[in-house]
Amino acid sequence: MAERSPGEERLLRQLVATLRCSVCRRTYEGRHMRVAAVHDNVFVISVRCVRCRNRQIFRIALRDESAAEMTRDEEERFAALQPISSDDVLDVHLILRDFEGDVRKLFEGREPDSD
């Protein structure tokens, strides 16, 4: 099996920690994941829920090596952000519902919020 970079390993653990158990809905802990296989940047991840012990298999595809790397500053910024809420999703839905035009124009020149 091909070696994983520390950036890929970190990203996979972060991704797994955003997923929820299909049985008890608890989020998985990245430290409980195991990479079962890798083929062409598609990772087969096995993880067991610490609450109900349900085992789940995920396939996670990374586009390329650079997609797995974040700078320390980016990691800190993203870690400090609040999770997206259902209200956030509804707000975006309401904005886009009647929007006509190029969606990219909505975001041109905008800097990320610095909450």
Is 90 or 76 the better-scoring residue by pLDDT? 90
The answer to whether residue 16 is domain-embedded is: yes
The answer to whether residue 43 is domain-embedded is: yes
Cβ atoms 30, 59 nearer than 8 A: no
Tokens in use for 28? 């998985």
Cβ atoms 20, 28 nearer than 8 A: yes
Buried b (16+ CB within 10 A) or exposed e, 29-57: ebeebeeeebeeeebebebbbeeeeeebe
Q: Name the pTM for this structure.
A: 0.50
The answer to whether residue 107 is domain-embedded is: no
What DSSP designation does 112 have? P
Is 63 or 7 the better-scoring residue by pLDDT? 7
Number of domains in the chain: 1
Cβ atoms 16, 28 nearer than 8 A: yes
The answer to whether residue 111 is domain-embedded is: no
Confidence (pLDDT) at 115 = 46
The per-residue pLDDT of the chain, averaged, comes to 82
Is 74 or 19 the better-scoring residue by pLDDT? 19
